[in-house]
Amino acid sequence: MNRKLWMYTCCCAAFLAACNSGTQQQGDKRNNDSVSVYLTTADQQALFAQQAALGKVPDTATINIVMDSSRQFQEIEGFGASVTGSSAYVMQNYMSPDKRQALLEELFGTTTGLGMNYIRMSIGASDFSTGPYTYNDIPAGERDDSLQHFSIARDEKEVVPILRQISGINPNIHIMGSPWSAPAWMKTSGKLEGGSLRPDAYDVYARYFVKYLRAFAAEGIKITALTIQNEPQYEALYPTMKMTAPEQGTFIKEHLGPLLEKEGLQQQTAVMLFDHNWNSPEYPISILDDSAIAKYTAGAAFHCYEGAVGAMSLVHDAHPEKGLYFTECSGGSWSPAFADNLQFMVRQLFIGTVNNWSKNVLLWNMALDERNGPTTNQPGTGEGNRGCMTCRGVVTINSRDGAVTRNVEYYAIAHFSKFVRPGAKRIYSSAVADKGLENVAFLNTDGSRVMVVMNTTKEEKVFSVKEGAVVSYALKPGAVVTLVWQ
């Protein structure tokens, strides 16, 4: 077993002990001014490890961060990743019931676990499923406008049980549904791979979404958000579908929005636009410019694979009344260095997106096996057409014995999900990125405050944080720290 795998595996007991210790000590910490500290270092010597608490000190640091709870910004809905078909498959088939329950409690439990409370699922197959499918597949050349053949049976073996189990652990979990493709018979291509939604299928596709919401509700799984189309500017040889901004706007305004309203589903299911990369902020802006469409939408969702995170603020500036969401980014074997991945994820995906108005942060696959799969394979298309073959999950589950490896994504999420609870507000913290420190701060509904700081340099940085009292911390190069004021 290599050193990195050994460290990932062995740190679990230490992490859970730290969480339990933190929980047990909360009563004492509320009675003084100490600040809890959780650290992950670039060399992996500390992996979300609790450190000695900080007390008041004179402000002698050269880098000073001011935190102001009275200056509040967007409300935070949560942090997590996608429970893809592949994620559900490896958890359901490679783990014993006891191991699976323990892992899900570790990920989603709000007392001793990480407290993840936002997940994404694909509506039908994505590129990470056990095969290509939708909830209404019929023979080529046929139509089913009445949706008599609608069925979620394909998901009842693995996806539904896992989502139900997660909902049992965290009843307030947010679940976002995103389609990779409409059923083939609704599309110009006549197949799941590529093509667009035919205009004469807009009405039936809207009813397909309603069927999906009700089918999962009948299973005890509440879908709280929808995106209209995953990556609508992209086609590939796995389930995909192109949808231009005018097409998406028309579909929402004339079909999906009015139907959700008529069926009494609009208030309980947020509809989000776009769901694609930072490089096209004009896509959601152009749709939101039409108030007849905007009234049916909660805001816009983004991925990380092209463009820069600041594009989210461009959308906010154009439509500050709408929410922004970050819904996908994956690490993978193309970037094996823990330190590099930690910095990118914390700096760009978590601190970066939240400071650019995101209300959530979701990574890609929650769990994959040691071969980065399984992936969706269209028979006869070959190895190169199965989507991402090198993407990494938040955790890796070994197909032989169900052993869990906690990857860098796990620790990046932990620094936020454990202490920043749903309903928290991002609050003001002074920018010191020019001095090598990135930071973001939050105020929870119980009055506790949280700050996450990342050292992006190759030297130790000593900084102070001031909101009334002052605390100081020396942060190692490439490290991330979460500070919690109870």
Active site residues: 231, 328
Q: Tell me how far apart the alpha carbons of residues 257 and 249 are, in angstroms, rounded to a whole number.
A: 10
- Please state whether the peptide bond connecting residue 281 to the residue before it is cis, i.e. omega within 30 degrees of 0: no
Tell me the DSSP string of 216-256: HHHTT----EEES-SSTT---SSB--B--HHHHHHHIIIII
Rounded CA-CA distance 210/263 in Å is 8
Of 417, 328, 327, 404, which is closest to residue 368 (Cα–Cα)?
Answer: 404
* Amino acid letter, residue 129: S
Reduced DSSP (H G I as helix, E B as strand, rest coil) percent helix, strand, coil of the chain, to 5: 30, 25, 40
Q: Contact at 8 Å (CB) between 312 and 355?
A: no
Q: How, if at all, do strands 270-277 and 299-303 pair?
A: parallel
CA 345 to chain centre: 12
Give the tokens for residue 140.
């080529």
Integer Cα distance of 140 and 138 in angstroms: 7
Both tokens assigned to 192: 């799941």
Q: State the DSSP code for 76.
A: P
Comparing C-alpha atoms, which of 368, 364, 281 is closest to residue 329?
364
Backbone φ and ψ for 389, nearest 5 degrees, come out as -95, -5
For the chain, the residue count is 486
Tokens 């949560």 sit at which residue?
78
